[in-house]
Amino acid sequence: METKYLTQTELHTAACLLKEGALVGIPTETVYGLGANGLDEAAVRGIFAAKGRPQDNPLILHIPSADWLQRYCRDIPPAAYALAERFWPGPLTMILPRKACVPDVVTAGLDTVGVRCPDHEVCRQIIRLADVPVAAPSGNRSGKPSPTRVEHMREDMDGRVDAIVDGGPCRVGVESTIIDLTCTPPRLLRPGGITLEQLREVLGQVEIDPAVVRGMKAGEKPRAPGMAYRHYAPEAPVTVVSGAPEKTAAYIAQHAGEQDGVLCFDEYIALFPVQDSRRQVKYLGPSGDKGAQAHNIFDALRAFDHTKVTAIWAQCPDERDIGLAVANRLNKAAGFRIIEV
């Protein structure tokens, strides 16, 4: 199929396409999503086909405001409204019991559904105009780094979807935080733009799902099915080096081969001269600016796929604030191959 590229003045076209059952790449503040009418089973199946996504990995329903929650969820606890009040629109997905109108294909047969209200005016406008919830996972081909620019969507989805809406680069750069409100205490299933510290301010106690911090063992099933899969990975294998930034930079400078890729904090540029080598160096952002690191991480990981590197070494922030999300994406890209120095 030929993919149409839509601008921000063509949101009616995007909304009509969605309503008619088409697949549309849509910008959000986290990453670009691959959207379909979340009540149209056939359209949602198209998402799995276009991404090559395993059928047992459920999708998130995107809504334009919290007052749509009751349409798709039941037994909604007060905590859900407290979180919506504080963090929506924004990068937070809540897992809640679903109503029967949500097709099985969206939830992969689970009796819960993930719901989020994105903080991107273009995205909310499209959903409002379509007047249907938009089921959307990240718009990358399954396993690849998530798309944070329209060019990434073109790389992965050109010819596989009906349209892609250009909403500019994504502000946050990592996917939404996922909080499961169907268990006590609530459980963090995926770290993202809303931090664990912020969630605890509203919810008190929050547990961290083991899949956030370590790889799953054979046969082990995480509560967020997507966390079981290899993810976010460029073609070359990644090794994360974790510890104080000056130590990790020194370790990588000692161990990286002349033709390897290096993903480092901006301050360590001088340790990795590129003039005389075929080394590829990408910058994650200043070591003290984890927001910048989140914004850059997928673009940097993706950029290695346009090079010939056969191994990638990455510095990694500590896990406070949005560092937990950056570290999680890096560790998953590395298949949890982590060297502590």
- Which residues contribute to the site for ligand AMP (CB under 6 A)? 57-58, 60, 95, 107, 110, 112-114, 137-138, 175, 178, 189, 223-227
**Closer residue to Mg ion in complex, CB, 66/123:** 123
Q: Whole-number minimum distance, CB 137 to Mg ion, in Å?
A: 5
In angstroms, the CA 260 to CA 306 distance is 13
**Closer residue to ligand AMP in complex, CB, 287/331:** 331
Q: Whole-number minimum distance, CB 266 to ligand AMP, in Å?
A: 27
Binding to Mg ion, residues 120-149 (CB under 5 A): 138
The answer to whether the CB of 284 falls within 8 A of the CB of 315 is yes
**Closer residue to ligand AMP in complex, CB, 177/296:** 177
Query: Which residue stretches of the chain are H helix?
Result: 11-19, 41-51, 69-72, 78-87, 104-107, 121-130, 150-157, 196-203, 210-213, 245-255, 290-303, 323-333
**Closer residue to Mg ion in complex, CB, 58/133:** 58
In angstroms, the CA 329 to CA 233 distance is 9
Q: Whole-number minimum distance, CB 309 to ligand AMP, in Å?
A: 26
Name the binder of 113 from ligand AMP, Mg ion, none, CB < 5-8 A by kind: ligand AMP
Look at phi and psi of residue 253 and say left if phi exceeds 0, alpha if psi is from -120 to 50, else beta. Answer: alpha
Q: How many CB atoms lie within 10 A of CB 184?
A: 9
For CA atoms 272, 274, 276, 279, give the dihedral sign: positive
Q: Whole-number minimum distance, CB 271 to ligand AMP, in Å?
A: 34
Name the binder of 114 from ligand AMP, Mg ion, none, CB < 5-8 A by kind: ligand AMP
**Closer residue to Mg ion in complex, CB, 112/138:** 138
The answer to whether the CB of 157 falls within 8 A of the CB of 3 is yes
Name the binder of 189 from ligand AMP, Mg ion, none, CB < 5-8 A by kind: ligand AMP
**Residues in the site for Mg ion, rule: CB under 5 A?**
138
